[in-house]
Amino acid sequence: MIMTLRGPCGYSLPSGHVASMRQGHESMSRCRRPNTMQLNIQNVTPETVEVQGQVVARAYAEGVMLATLIATAGTNKPAQEVIVSQYLDAGLSAAAFPAIVRSIETRKLAAEREHAERLKDAREHAERVKSYESTPLDEARRRAKREDRERKYQDMGRAIRSANGRSDFSSGNWLDNN
């Protein structure tokens, strides 16, 4: 009889592969499935809460159930934060775990600050880019100035060539100034 064990990712292991179960943390990091617990919290009233389709007393959900879920997460701080943030999003109290609530609020404030900073940078960048945009009148002025400068250089070249008695640069011995 082959005994089937469940690995850390939920996949089946034959009984001879117990050593891979003992790796624990190393094999957990290779999981492809996220390790977050999604709670389906609905119908929150002052007395009752529906969690995963089961109606329970609000005090039980905020006390025993939350403590059990946090204990299930163990020392995995991100998993604890996911559980508590779902409770807070549903409008339930997580006052029994102030450190986790504080870390969630700190992370949210940091995310809001970062978002505000990105928006500010985007506005500043848009203003800078707007200053580089040119109107057709500005482009026409630049083109006229460039054409005028080119015409001036061409006239200077013609004057030099005519003073030397040559019609173009490559005719004759151009090193000879006679």
135-178, pLDDT tens digit by residue? 889 899 999 999 999 999 999 988 888 887 665 555 555 565 55
Please state, rounded to an integer, the average pLDDT across all residues of the chain: 79
Residues in a beta bridge with 48:
57
User: Phi-psi region for residue 138, left (φ > 0), alpha (ψ -120 to 50) or beta?
Assistant: alpha
Write the DSSP symbol of residue 61. Answer: I
pTM of the model: 0.51
Query: Stretch 17-22: mean pLDDT, rounded?
Result: 43
State the pLDDT at residue 148. Answer: 97
The Cα 94–Cα 102 span in angstroms is: 11
| CB 84, CB 94: distance < 8 Å | yes
Instruction: Please say if the pLDDT value at position 23 is more than 50.
Output: no
The Cα 77–Cα 87 span in angstroms is: 15
Q: What percent of the chain has pLDDT over 70?
A: 72
List all residues 6 or more positions away from 27 whose beta carbon is below 8 Å from its beta carbon.
7, 8, 9, 20, 21
63-101, pLDDT tens digit by residue? 999 999 999 988 999 999 999 999 999 889 888 899 999
